[in-house]
Structures are given as C-alpha cells and as structure tokens.
Amino acid sequence: MSDSVKKYFEDKEEHEQASINKAQDAIHEHRWFVWVLDFELGSVHLYNIRNGAETEDAETLIELHGHNITNCEWMLTQKNKVYR
C-alpha cells in the first residue's frame, strides 16, 4: 500500500474516533452520577441523576435506594467510569 493511501486511512480512522469521542461527551454532558460508598452493605454503587447536579437530589436518590445517608460517603460527578 502506498504511503498516501496509508495516510488517508490513518487520518480517516483518527477522524472517526474523534467523532465518536465527541458524541460520547455530548451524551454525558448533562448527566451527573452519584458514587455511593455504603459502609453498612460494604459495597459501592453508581446512580445516574438525569435532572441536574443538586446536592438535595443526590441525597434523596441515595435514600430512595435504601441507603442510610448517615452511614455512607458519596460523591457527585460527571464521570461514570473507574480510572486506575
């Protein structure tokens, strides 16, 4: 394969990946997530808040899912992935 053809396909693949990343960012742009570390259950939970990033919404959601808010740590973020 010639260098120009190879370069064309590399550029095309890079452009397609950039478009995918942009679309994924747009999907999650207005989404907020609550990470809950529940000491009673000994587990970590992830919940989606669709209507905004308000502390009251997060605490209400945590309690509605059966967690004891006084025995949990939680974090409100736009990230829904665990990074190592």
Q: Give 10-residue mean pLDDT values along the chain (84 residues).
A: 75 76 60 92 90 74 93 91 83
| Residue 48 identity (one-letter amino acid) | N
Sorted by where each begins, the domain ranges of the chain are 1-29, 32-77
| Residue 47 identity (one-letter amino acid) | Y
| 8 A C-beta contact, residue 5 and residue 50 | no
Predicted TM-score of the model (pTM) = 0.60
Helices (H) and strands (E) in the chain, counts: 2, 3
